[in-house]
């Protein structure tokens, strides 16, 4: 695995670990009884946050990594 890919993969794994406490906070603060609904809401919020971060992690210098707008 090339060095730049290894760096991006390491950042992605770190980001993945950071998502756990953030999603836990969302679930713990929601006052809903249904855990499935809580989980869906937490994952939607996580997607809103981490979509942008993942884009930064996987961006290739001067070029987006294959994502089409």
Domain count for the chain: 1
Query: Global pTM?
Result: 0.64
Compute the distance between CA of residue 31 and CA of residue 52 in angstroms, rounded to an integer: 27
**First CA to last CA across the chain, in angstroms?**
28
Give the pLDDT band (50/70/90) at residue 25. Answer: very high
30-66 pLDDT, tens digit each: 999 999 999 999 999 989 988 888 888 878 665 554 5
Domain annotation covers residue 22: yes
Kindly state whether residue 9 falls inside one of the protein's structural domains.
yes
Let me know if residue 69 belongs to a domain: no
What pLDDT sits at residue 16?
Answer: 87
Place of tokens 């950042």: 11
Does the CA dihedral 11-13-15-17 come out positive or negative? negative
Q: Would you state the pLDDT for residue 50?
A: 87
Confidence band of 8 (pLDDT split at 50, 70, 90): confident
Domain around 44: 2-60
């Amino acid at each position: 695995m090339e060095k730049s890919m290894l760096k991006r993969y390491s950042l992605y794994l770190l980001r993945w670990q950071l998502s756990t406490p953030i999603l836990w906070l969302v679930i713990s603060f929601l006052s809903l009884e249904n855990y499935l609904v809580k989980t869906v809401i937490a994952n939607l919020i996580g997607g809103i946050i981490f979509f942008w971060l993942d884009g930064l992690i996987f961006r290739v210098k001067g070029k987006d990594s294959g994502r089409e707008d």
